[in-house]
Structure 1
Amino acid sequence: MSAETIITCAVTGSSLTPSMSPYLPITPEQIAKDSIDAVRAGASVVHLHARDPNDGRPTNDLAVWKEFVPAIRANCEGIINMSASRGATADERVSAVLALRPEIATVIVGSMNYGRFRKAEDQKAVEFKYQWERELLSGPDAYEVVTSNTFGKIGRMIDMLIDADIAMEFECYDVGHLYILDYHLQSKKVKGPIIVQFLTGILGGIPSEVDHLVHLRQTSERLFGRDCVLFTHGTGTRNMRAAATGALMGTHVRIGQEDNLFDKPGVLFKSNAAQVEKVSRILDDLNCKIATPAAARKILGLGERVALP
């Protein structure tokens, strides 16, 4: 494992909603500012989703992505990691990625029951400003959601991103997803180290307890070798604890407003930068050296930063 720890900041996602916190970045301007501030606070990677600026609804509209990705690229040294998770087909999911060419794209490598209603419970959300939030988190459909990441869809996304020479972070919600990834890697040549993100704590996926995190690391190293690059994060209020555990195991870490909004019970984080500052203090207390963006690029096999228009 690396002697330096990379901090990824997941700036805004698709399952926590505006009614949960006034500090969740929604508009392109807010997402860009929070991303730049997070990098200045110590994050090397910003993991991004796009939202409709009118009501915060998740979107994969290229026009929205274009309003903040170039601004982040132009104003900080951070590594841009775009989620490729929205859309019915593989082509739809990677459409914005192929257009904007981030250094990394995140590919989810398994299907599962996704208990979205637990998000509302965990973040203490009982009132919603927008109807789409209520339907997403507490309506009947919240109990019927299955994330669909088929073998065909995953394989098609990997092929397209290899052809585009865009690095991939493989997001795994459970141990079985590691074996799905291994199946694909038997026939697909991914350039550079295998980057795996342990996404833990989703109801329907693996919990964030220490024994599960250790099992994920051991299984990953057995399948992909000790040169694989591993990240740990937990969703919900156990996020910082999961990050600290990951750092002690020698993995890199992810925090951010996508995964958790609360610093402590009843106290909201006021920004992504505040989350980066907190995890940086924790890492410093654990004598973990924090990677700069330049060091992170080397660890992730990305090469030198390339300026894009």
Structure 2
Amino acid sequence: RCNLLWSAPKTLMIGWVDTVRICVIRKRSPVELQTRDVTEYLVDPVYTFQTDYYISGLGPLDDQLVLLGVPKECDAETGKAQRPVLSVADYKDCEFCELSTDSLNIRGYEEYSCNDYYLDMLIEENRFFIVSPKDIVIASPYDIDDRVNWLTKHGRFEKAITVLEEIGGKTMKHSVVTVGVQYLDHLLAEHLYEEAAILCARICKNDKVLWENQILKFAEVNQLRTISPYVPKTQEQALSPQIYELIFYEYLKVDPHGFLKIVQEWNPTLYKSGVIVNKVLEHLLTTEVDKNIYLEALALLYCYQ
């Protein structure tokens, strides 16, 4: 089947068998009209090239060309037709160069020939419709959201975040924060707590609500000690006192030296020292280990009140 398409008012695309021809309708020069008995306009083939497949349809994509076709050779194992392919090619400068080629998963493709497929399009929207006897597939140019979707689906969160950062941090569907939270959940599930803590600081920045929501995830897996070095500690960025108190409680139970250290280093205005004092007193009633460390921390906490 010969495929004809007007890609512009004076540009005709022709796809026939395995050959593509781009023709331009032009007006003859006055000299040509005077010296020869010819029509005023002519069809001038400006590009001609061959493909490795039989052409089922073609169309323009900005300055490039979209081709729908069926491979010439049958499948070596089954002896039946192969999957149809959708290619994007550059054809300027008298060279034909395929930029991308994708095989399409069409139901029943083994029984179809190139004439069983049809390519339609909305040129203004760069949207293409691949029509077969059983399926209609809609294709559109690959954008940033598509790329981020693919990267996150394949677990390449770091690359997805980098892509978003390069374009200002967000698109219509994704942002550094949303992808970062996905990545954070993935790291926690893989028990990569230190990497998750570093990422948390990277994505949360000055967002207090986001900080608190992510810190609670570390609390669920008893890893508040891992996130504690990265938690905001200035008055301008201070979180809810309860968040800092949760971190104190974890240190109190499992790391007395770490508990004393944060009592010494953290600004007492970040938390309610009286609440921590009560927890220390309760803990001292049930432990005989490292009592001197807890008593030293308790003395400091009393001084802060």
TM-score range, shorter chain: under 0.3
User: Which of 1 and 2 has greater Rg?
Assistant: 2
Q: TM-score, normalised by structure 1?
A: 0.21
Structure of higher RCO (CA pairs closer than 8 Å, 6+ residues apart): 1
